[in-house]
Amino acid sequence: MPDLRGAALAVLTSVLFATPSLAAPVKTPVPAPAPAPAVQRQAMLLKEVPTQEKLIAFTFDDGPNRRYTPQVLELLQKYHAHATFFLIGQEVVRFPEMVKKIEAAGMEIGNHGMNHKWLHKITADEIQKEITGGSDAITSAGGKKPYLYRLPGGFASDDASKLLGSLGYTVIGWSVDTRDWRMSATAEGIERIVMRDAAPGRIVIMHDGSVHREGTIQALSHVLPALEGQGYKIVSIGELLQKSSYQALRKLPPQKPCGAKKVKSQPKKERPKSFLERLRPTGRKPSGRKAG
Ligand SMILES: [Zn+2]
């Protein structure tokens, strides 16, 4: 049983790339300055939340994917589980119909950027395009406006953190890294990591986008009933936040349905290339590390 007390404190006070002056975001003696839109609060980074309840949040990155996302949805529904899908805008443009399918299945959608760019490698303008482009793609496809962001690769910069904060995003990290994105990942390995690291309030990262997700699907088909057998409830990030004291520290914007935008049916032409095809035309593995 992991010691959540220390972790909880760290989680609740963590701010992306916190500067000394912003390290304690909760209690700041406010000398009532004039409205200063230029002062931007950095986004909160959440890796897990303190809770006594046996809740675990599952998250799936890099979709939507026409092949794997429906399989993940089917499994989640079979076990009455919920999850959060962090979608890439460019993939949403390719498969817009998946957005409504995900939401209709009772799942939550978060923003994973327009083109899956690492935010510490690009300019402030490009960061803005990544964030707003991803959000716009989701809402244009009929999805709710996202308020959760997952950083591709887990990387951010000061600019990114401030912009995400000013846009009202909470950045969602992870505390159970299945490493299912690795080419060498196996279903058994993924399953072992989840069952080893499962604990109340933790956030699991998996991937339903890009290629070769058979291992993820197979592992999921085992860990969902196994966790259920241990008394866990698998929830989305939003549900996890609702059940935790995290709410006391930061009010989340309500999840509003996004207006009445109708999705135009896409003309069936050839699809744009996937973000992976664009980023890695040679099929090489990315040189960086880690999930996201
Ligand atoms: Zn990703």
Q: Say which residue, 1 or 217, is predicted with more confidence.
A: 217
Task: For the chain, give the number of residues.
Answer: 292
Using the mean position of ligand 1's atoms as its centre, give its distance from the Cα of residue 268 in Å: 26
Nearest to 175 by CA among 161, 154, 155: 154
What are the catalytic residues?
A: 61, 207
Class of domain 40-279: alpha beta
DSSP codes joined into one string, 119-168:
GGGS-HHHHHHHHHHHHHHHHHTTPPPP-EE--GGG---HHHHHHHHHTT
Q: Say which residue, 238 or 9, is predicted with more confidence.
A: 238
Using the mean position of ligand 1's atoms as its centre, give its distance from the Cα of residue 292 in Å: 4
- Predicted local distance difference test score (pLDDT) of residue 194: 98
DSSP E strand boundaries for 181-289 = 203-207, 233-235
Tell me the pLDDT of the chain averaged across its residues. Answer: 80
User: Is residue 87 within a helix (H) or strand (E), and if so which, with residue range?
Assistant: strand 84-87
Using the mean position of ligand 1's atoms as its centre, give its distance from the Cα of residue 150 in Å: 8
The model's pLDDT over 15-25, given as tens digits with 9 standing for 90+, comes to: 454 333 333 34
Window from 20-29, 45-54, 106-115 with minimum mean pLDDT: 20-29
The model's pLDDT over 109-166, given as tens digits with 9 standing for 90+, comes to: 999 999 999 999 999 999 999 999 999 999 999 999 999 999 999 998 999 999 999 9
Overall pTM surpassing 0.85 (yes/no): no
Q: How far is CA 66 from CA 82, 94, 101, 139, 216, in A?
A: 19, 9, 11, 19, 15
In this predicted structure, the answer to whether residue 7 has a pLDDT above a threshold of 50 is: no
- Predicted local distance difference test score (pLDDT) of residue 211: 81
